Amino acid sequence: MNKQIFLKTLKKQLQKFGVKNSDDYLEYYSEYLDDLIENGSTEEEAVQKVGGVKKVLVEIISDNDVEIPQTSDRLKSALLIGSLPVWGPLLLAAYLVPILLLLAVLLIAVSFLLAGGWTLVGSFVVMTKVGLLYAGFQLGISLLFLGGALLIEQLFAFLTQKLFSFNKYLFRKFNVGGIRNGLV
Amino acid sequence: MDLFKFNSKIAFWGIILVVVGLVLAFATLFSLDFDISALINHGGSWYAPIKWK
């Protein structure tokens, strides 16, 4: 990471955390990097010596002189909390919909598996009791069910992975403590 | 084999099973002389058009 990308990323992160005097810090780190470069480091080495974006961000946020405005607009926060009964359940429902859809996909896969297994066993009964052609037809249907079960199960696995990474993203976005664990 | 991770091998065998099942089902269906239109248009009453021997 060179100096410019470092400063640009740092600026973005500082804006995200609402640091008011971010320019002071950017200037300080820009000069600090220049000094390191003058003393013979390459840009990448200088950024590495400073500690990278995450470490610098944690240092700035835990600095005594940092100006992060507290929730200034009391009315806004009061409204937000007051309307919790309205948007809370909506948010919960929106969060639950994909999870329940996923559950539905899993149930479809399980029912296909059961239907496929049952007709597969049944086709052997049909073979002895009715005839080979009928048994072949039923076997074909059971293979269709079993193949469908496998495909839908794979769809379930794929969607589960997607949902998992989406949740990870949400966790990173809304958990400020996450930056200390190196998740940003 | 982890069933809860996307695995192209499982998906491949799923497709193979579906294709084989389709071929088998259609091949036997057309040699069974089912009265398909009667099956579809049974007018609400259940009718199994199987010609028992």
Nearest to A133 among B18, B26, B31 (CB): B31
If asked whether residues A113 and A174 sit together in one domain, one would say yes
Who has greater pLDDT, B46 or B17?
B17
Our count of domains for chain A comes to 2
pLDDT at B8 over 70: yes
Contact A145 B21 (CB under 8 A): yes
If asked whether residues A101 and A57 sit together in one domain, one would say no
Q: Does residue A44 form part of some domain?
A: yes
The pLDDT score that the predictor gives to residue A80 is 83
Q: Does residue A52 form part of some domain?
A: yes
If asked whether residues A51 and A97 sit together in one domain, one would say no
Least confident among A56-60, B18-22, B33-37, B39-43: B39-43
The pLDDT score that the predictor gives to residue A62 is 85
pLDDT at B46 over 70: no
A182 secondary structure, DSSP code: T
- Distance, CA of B34 to CA of B40 (rounded, Å): 11
Q: Does residue A69 form part of some domain?
A: no
The CB density around residue B17, as the number of other CB atoms within 10 Å, is 21
pLDDT in tens, B18-29: 999 999 999 998
If asked whether residues A50 and A113 sit together in one domain, one would say no
Q: Is the dihedral of CA A170, A173, A175, A177 positive or negative?
A: positive
Backbone angles phi, psi at A42, to 5 degrees: -80, 170
Contact A141 B21 (CB under 8 A): yes
If asked whether residues A109 and A155 sit together in one domain, one would say yes
Query: In chain A, which residues touch B (CB < 8 A)?
Result: 131, 133-134, 136-137, 139-151, 153-154, 157-158, 160-161
The pLDDT score that the predictor gives to residue A54 is 87
Contact A150 B10 (CB under 8 A): yes
If asked whether residues A36 and A89 sit together in one domain, one would say no
- Lookup: tokens for A117: 């297994």
Structural domain containing residue A36: 3-61
Q: Does residue A100 form part of some domain?
A: yes
Q: Does residue A49 form part of some domain?
A: yes
Long-range contacts of A159-164 (CB under 8 A, 24+ apart): A159/A102, A159/A105, A160/A102, A160/B4, A161/B5, A161/B6, A163/A98, A163/A99, A163/A102
> B21 at the A interface (CB within 8 A)?
yes
- Distance, CA of A151 to CA of A109 (rounded, Å): 8
If asked whether residues A93 and A33 sit together in one domain, one would say no
Last residue of a domain, one of A23, A46, A61: A61
pLDDT at B47 over 70: no
Q: What angle do CA A151, A157, A159 make, to 5 degrees?
A: 105
- Lookup: tokens for A30: 């820009």
Q: Does residue A147 form part of some domain?
A: yes
pLDDT, mean of residues B17-44:
84
Contact B21 A142 (CB under 8 A): yes
If asked whether residues A31 and A88 sit together in one domain, one would say no
pLDDT at B48 over 70: no
The pLDDT score that the predictor gives to residue B50 is 60
| Residues A130/A133/A136/A140 CA torsion (nearest 10 deg) | -110
Q: Does residue A70 form part of some domain?
A: no
The pLDDT score that the predictor gives to residue A183 is 47
- Lookup: tokens for A144: 């269709």
- Distance, CA of A6 to CA of A11 (rounded, Å): 9
If asked whether residues A92 and A173 sit together in one domain, one would say yes
Nearest to B25 among A140, A148, A157 (CB): A140
If asked whether residues A26 and A106 sit together in one domain, one would say no
**pLDDT tier at B30 (50, 70, 90 boundaries)?**
confident
If asked whether residues A97 and A55 sit together in one domain, one would say no
The pLDDT score that the predictor gives to residue A50 is 87
Per-residue pLDDT of chain A (184 residues; tens, 9 = 90+): 788 899 999 888 888 877 888 888 899 999 999 999 999 888 888 888 888 888 888 888 888 888 877 655 677 778 888 888 888 999 999 999 999 999 999 999 999 999 999 999 999 999 999 889 999 999 999 999 999 999 999 999 999 999 999 998 888 877 765 555 554 4
If asked whether residues A153 and A98 sit together in one domain, one would say yes
The pLDDT score that the predictor gives to residue B45 is 61
Q: Does residue A13 form part of some domain?
A: yes
| Residues B40/B43/B44/B46 CA torsion (nearest 10 deg) | -60
Instruction: For residue A160, give the chain B residue with the closest CA.
Output: B4
Q: How far is CA A79 from CA A20, A72, A94, A164, B31, in A?
A: 25, 13, 21, 32, 71
